[in-house]
Amino acid sequence: MPRPEVAVVGGGITGLATAWFLRDRAAVTVYEASGRVGGKIETTSLLGVPVEAGPDTFLARVPWAVDLCKALGLGDELVAPATGKAYVWTRGRLRPLPEGTVLGVPRRLGPLARAGIVSPWGLARAGLDLVLPRPPAGGADDRSVREVIGKRFGPEVVNRLVEPLLGGIHAGRADRLSLAAVAPQVAEAAGRSRSLLLGLRSGPAAGNGPVFLGLRGGLQTLVDRLAKEVDVRLNTPVEPLADLGADAVVLAVPAYAAARLVPAEAARELEAIEYASVVTVTLAYAPDALPGPLDGSGFLVPRVDGRLITACTWTSSKWPQPGADGVVLLRASAGRIGDDRALRLDDEALVGRIHGELAEAMGLRAPPTGSLVSRWLRSFPQYDIGHVARVARIEALLPPNVAVAGAAYRGVGIAACIHDAERAASAVAPH
C-alpha cells in the first residue's frame, strides 16, 4: 500500500520536527519559502565567534527538546549556560533577580526584599498577598497577567519583575497577555490558593539540573541535523494548498501566513493573533572596555523605565568560547508589542543608542569594535486574553486533514514548538 503523503509548510523547528515525528508513518515533504532551514533559529558569527541571531537556549525542565536532540545523536552536544545569575536594570542600577521565582512571580518575600528590585513600599504591598482575602470567584475566567498577579502583589512586582520576565518571553505586555495561556501553572496556583506565594510554594517542585540548555556550536546544529533526516524543499513558498496534492497538511508557519492558506472563517481567527517585532543587536567589545569581569548571564529591563533595550545577554560569560578571549560579546534585544522605536532606527543609529544604554547600565568605557543587527519582524505571537479559546476555535474550523502547529498556539519556546509538532503529527497521521 502506498504511504500517505503529508505536506509540511514551513521549515522552522516546528515544521522540521513534524516531519521527523511522521517519518515512519508517511511520505513527508517540508516546503520552506526561504533559502535556509531554521526560521527563527539562526546561528551566525561576529568576529569569528559563533552568535545566535535568534534563540540561544531551550527549556530543559520539559523533555521535548532534550529528547529530540538525543534522538538525533546530539546528546553529547547539549551544554548548559556557564552561569544562571541574572539581573534587572532598574531603580538606577543592576540588581540581582531574586532566587526561586516562577517566571518572575515570587514564592518568598526574603529574596525579593534582598534584591531591591521593588521599593520598600512595593515590598510591603507584595506581602499583602499573605493576608488579603481570596479574590471573588466568577466573572471572566481568562484574565491578564497584570490583573491576577497585580491584585495579589501590587503593581511594582508586575512592572519590575513579572512583566520583564514573563512578558519578555513574549515581547508582550502584562495587561494584555492571558495568564492561563502564558503561565498555566501560575494561573492554576492562583485559582487553587488564597495566597499566590503559598500556592506556588505548594505546587510541583522544580526539578534538578539546568533549567535551560543550548547546543555546542549553536542551535543551528539542531535544525541542520533535522534537515538531513527529512525531505526539505527550500525556496518553495506555498500559496494555495491544493497545489500540494497531499493527503494531509501541517501548517508550521506564523499564524498570519497560515491565514492565507485556509478557509475564510479560520483565516479570520488566525489573523487576529497579533505579532510583536523585535531586533537583536550583538556588540563586540575589547575586554578592557568593561569595568570588570561579567558575573552572570545578563539582565532584563522593565518597560516602565522607558529604555530602548528590553534585555541583554552577556554572551561571553553565558556561553564562553574557547579561543575567544580577545573579544567580549553582549547581545541586546529591543522592541515589544506597542513599542517599535528600535525597529524604526537604521542600523548605525540603533547600534549607537544600544551602546549608550549598555554603557549606562554596565559602565562600559569604550565603543564597540563590531556589531551584528538582526531584525525579527512580526516574530512574537501575542497570547492575548481569549487565546486558549481562539486556538480551540481555529482547530474546529480547519478541514480534518489540515493542522496548524508552532509558536502561535501552545507555547512560543522551542521545546513547546517541538511538543506541538508531535501533537500535529499524530493529528494528521490517520489521514
Of 88 and 157, which CB lies nearer to ligand FAD in the complex structure? Answer: 88
Of 158 and 241, which CB lies nearer to ligand FAD in the complex structure? Answer: 241
Interior CA angle at 222 toward 254 and 419, to 5°?
55
304: which residues sit within 8 A by CB, 6+ positions away? 159, 160, 163
Of 68 and 238, which CB lies nearer to ligand FAD in the complex structure? Answer: 238
Q: In the bound complex, what is the minimum distance in angstroms from residue 223's beta carbon to ligand FAD?
A: 9
Of 197 and 238, which CB lies nearer to ligand FAD in the complex structure? Answer: 238
Of 196 and 279, which CB lies nearer to ligand FAD in the complex structure? Answer: 279
Q: In the bound complex, what is the minimum distance in angstroms from residue 317's beta carbon to ligand FAD?
A: 16
Of 290 and 417, which CB lies nearer to ligand FAD in the complex structure? Answer: 417
Question: In DSSP terms, which residues pair with 371 in a beta bridge?
Answer: 283
Q: In the bound complex, what is the minimum distance in angstroms from residue 399's beta carbon to ligand FAD?
A: 17
Virtual torsion, Cα 201, 176, 415, 4, nearest 10 deg: 130
Q: In the bound complex, what is the minimum distance in angstroms from residue 312's beta carbon to ligand FAD?
A: 13
The position carrying cell 466573572 is 139
* Residues in touch with ligand FAD (CB under 6 A): 9-15, 31-34, 39-41, 54-58, 237-238, 252-254, 257, 278, 280, 376, 379, 406-407, 412-414, 417
Q: Nearest Cα to 165, choosing from 207, 211, 125?
A: 211
Q: In the bound complex, what is the minimum distance in angstroms from residue 124's beta carbon to ligand FAD?
A: 34
Q: Nearest Cα to 103, choosing from 206, 229, 249?
A: 206
- Please state whether 143 falls in left (phi above 0), alpha (psi between -120 and 50) or beta: beta
Measure the CA–CA gap between 344 and 327, rounded to whole angstroms. Answer: 29
Of 101 and 220, which CB lies nearer to ligand FAD in the complex structure? Answer: 220
Q: In the bound complex, what is the minimum distance in angstroms from residue 109's beta carbon to ligand FAD?
A: 29
Q: In the bound complex, what is the minimum distance in angstroms from residue 113's beta carbon to ligand FAD?
A: 29
Virtual torsion, Cα 11, 392, 192, 412, nearest 10 deg: 20
Measure the CA–CA gap between 14 and 425, rounded to whole angstroms. Answer: 10
HSE-CB for 342 with a 13 A CA cutoff: 32
